[in-house]
Structure 1
Amino acid sequence: MDTRQIEENIEKLISGEKDEILIKKEDFMKFREIWLNHPDKNSIIGKANHFGEVSYYYKSNE
């Protein structure tokens, strides 16, 4: 997954087009860099899965 795809997936997650994003182990550091700089990072919640994969969900703070 490249940076553009990660950014698009985050925006789809926030808008409700997607319920979750599955980030594979090899994409985690790219995702983390984008996530840390995102204004809604506190609403994007990760859940660890097997084999280093993480599922991210959006939980509105409102």
Structure 2
Amino acid sequence: MENIDFSTSIDQLRNGEINELLVSQPQFLAFRDVWLQLDDRVKFVGEAGLNGNIIYRYQPENK
């Protein structure tokens, strides 16, 4: 499994450097640990995919 710095990836998503972040099932708990610490976590919207993959997108207009 590839190690990902989710703090950096989340910042890139928030800043528009990337459009989406793919999180696989084995990576989810590591992602969740970082995500739970965010003040704007409701703006990160996940779309469930096949085999436990989730695609996260940042939607700044969410309240």
Whether TM-score is above 0.5 comes out as yes
Structure 1: distance between partners of 2:40 and 2:8:
14
> Which amino acid letter does the alignment assign opposite residue 23 of structure 1?
V
Ranges in structure 1 where 5+ consecutive residues have no aligned partner: none
Structure 2: distance between partners of 1:32 and 1:48:
15
Shift of 1:43: 0.4
> Which amino acid letter does the alignment assign opposite residue 31 of structure 1?
F
1:33 maps to what in 2? 33
Structure 2: distance between partners of 1:40 and 1:60:
9
Give RMSD over aligned pairs. 1.2
Structure 1: distance between partners of 2:12 and 2:39:
15
2:39 is paired with a residue whose SS is coil
2:12 maps to what in 1? 12
TM-score by length of 2: 0.88
Ranges in structure 2 where 5+ consecutive residues have no aligned partner: none
* Large movers: runs of 4+ above 6 Å: none
Shift of 1:27: 0.5
2:58 maps to what in 1? 58
Pick the structure with more helix per residue. Answer: 1
Identity %: 28
